[in-house]
Amino acid sequence: MNQNLEQHSVILPPAMLGMLGGGQLGRFFVIAAHEMGYKVTVLDPDENSPAGKIADVHICAKYDDAAALKHMAESCQTVTTEFENVPAATLETLAKTIAVSPSAQSVAIAQHRVSEKNFLKQAGLPVAPYVVINAEADLPADDNDIYPAILKVARFGYDGKGQARVANLTEAKKAFVEFSQEECVLEKMLKLDYEVSVVLARDVNGHIATFPTTENSHLNGILDVSIIPARGSDAVNYQAQKLAISVADKLEYKGVLGVEFFVCDGELLVNEIAPRPHNSGHYTIDACITNQFEQQVRAMTGLPLGSSRQHSPAVMVNILGDIWPDDGAVQQAEPAWQFALSNPQLKMHLYGKREARDGRKMGHFTVLNTSRDEAIKQAMQVRSELNIGN
C-alpha cells in the first residue's frame, strides 16, 4: 500500500497495526488497540518489553533489522512509534510500502535538539535564547548574557539525561568534554513560574483534538506530578493550546503530539516537542472520554478523532524504581501498595517492567475527584505514603 495514495483510507478492525517500541507507551497503545478490536505487532529488541508481553506478535529485533522491517511491512497495515529515538531511516523504509505516522520528517526534527530548536524558531514560535555548539570554540565567553545556562546534547537526551547546568565558560567547557564534544544546544536558564504541556491528536485531514493544558512539576529532570486542568490563568492555558496547534500544523503532523512549555513572567516558551503520546497525558486514560492512546489508534487508522473532553479533575503521579525496597534479595520486594489501593478515588497503573531501578518509570497513579484541590491533596498524601521523592 502506498502511503500517498492510501493515506485517506480507513483501516478497520481486526487489522494488524504495527508499533515501533515496547515500553509503557507501547503497552498502553496495545491495550487501546485491543479494546477497539485491532491486533498489534510490536518491534522491540528487549525480550521482556512491557508492550511485547501483551502484543499479538513481538518481533524481538533491532529497529534497523532488515528482516524485521520486512516482516512488519508485509503483516501490518499501518505503523506508528512510541518514542522519538527510533531511527528516522526505519520510518522511511516502512513508509515506502505502508502508511507510517508520525512521518519520518517529524520524528527527525523532534529527536535532534538543534533541528527542533531551529524548526520552532523559524516557525515563529517563542523559545528560550540558545546557541548551537559544534565545537569548543562555539561556547560563548563569560560576559555573554546566556549564562547561567543548560548545556544539552543534541541527541538521545531525555528525563534530564544529557544535560548539565553551567554558570560560565569554564563549566560549559567541562560539560562539553563530558558529553564527548557531541553537538549540543546551550540554552539560557530562565526563572520559571511553572511548566505546562499540551497533548493533542491531529488526523490526516488536519482535524485536531486537544486535551486540557496540564501543569507539570519535575524531580531530578523526570516528570513527577501533573495537575489537570492546570492552575494557571485561563489566558495562559488557552495560549498553550493555540501554540501547540500551531506546532502540529506547521509540522503537518499526523498522530499524537506532546508539546512542553515554560511559563516565564506569564509568557509561554516552547521547550520541547514529543512526536508520540506523552507522560503528562497518562491521566487521559481515566479522566477523559477518549484517552491519548485511543487517539493514536484513531489517527493512524483514519478514524475520526474521539472527544478529548475531561470529565473529572485529575492529578497524576509518576512511580519510579527508587521506591522499591533494596534489601539485597534476589527477588525484589514490592512497595506498600495498600496505601494507594485503599483510596477509592485512585487508579493504579503498573507497567510490568521486570526490574526496578532508580529513575526508571515503573508506573503511575491518577487521583480523580470533583474538586481539583481535593485531588491534589489526596495525590500528595499517597505520594508521601509511597515515599516518592524522599
What structural domains and CATH numbers belong to the chain?
A: 3-100 (3.40.50.20), 129-188 (3.30.1490.20), 194-385 (3.30.470.20)
| pLDDT score recorded for residue 1 | 34
Mean pLDDT of 75-102: 93
pTM for the full model?
0.93
Given a cut of 60, whether residue 32 has pLDDT beyond it is yes
Strands 78-81 and 57-59: unpaired
With residues binned 3-state (H G I as helix, E B as strand, rest as coil), the percentages for the chain, rounded to 5, are: 30, 25, 40
Distance of CA 133 to the CA centre of its chain: 25
Compute the distance between CA of residue 123 and CA of residue 112 in angstroms, rounded to an integer.
16
**Of 62, 65, 109, nearest in space to 84 by CA:** 109
Could you tell me the three cell numbers for 26? 507501547
130, 185 contact by CB (below 8 A): yes
Given a cut of 90, whether residue 303 has pLDDT beyond it is yes
Distance of CA 315 to the CA centre of its chain: 17
Q: Burial code of 191-208, b = ≥16 C-beta within 10 A, e = fewer?
A: eeebbbbbbbbbbbeeeb
Could you tell me the three cell numbers for 102? 508520525
**Of 255, 387, 250, 226, nearest in space to 313 by CA:** 226
244, 198 contact by CB (below 8 A): yes
Task: Please state whether 347 falls in left (phi above 0), alpha (psi between -120 and 50) or beta.
Answer: beta
Beta bridge mates, 256 = 201
| pLDDT score recorded for residue 159 | 55
What percent of the chain is predicted at pLDDT more than 90?
89
Mean pLDDT of 112-123: 95
Mean pLDDT of 236-262: 97
Q: Which residue has the cell 523559545?
A: 127
CA atoms within 13 A on the CB side of 297: 27
Dihedral sign of CA atoms 59, 63, 67, 70 in order? positive
Sheet strands (E) in 250-378: 255-264, 267-274, 314-320, 346-350, 361-368
Compute the distance between CA of residue 1 and CA of residue 196 in angstroms, rounded to an integer.
39
Compute the distance between CA of residue 149 and CA of residue 156 in angstroms, rounded to an integer.
19
Least confident of 313-322, 323-332, 343-352: 323-332
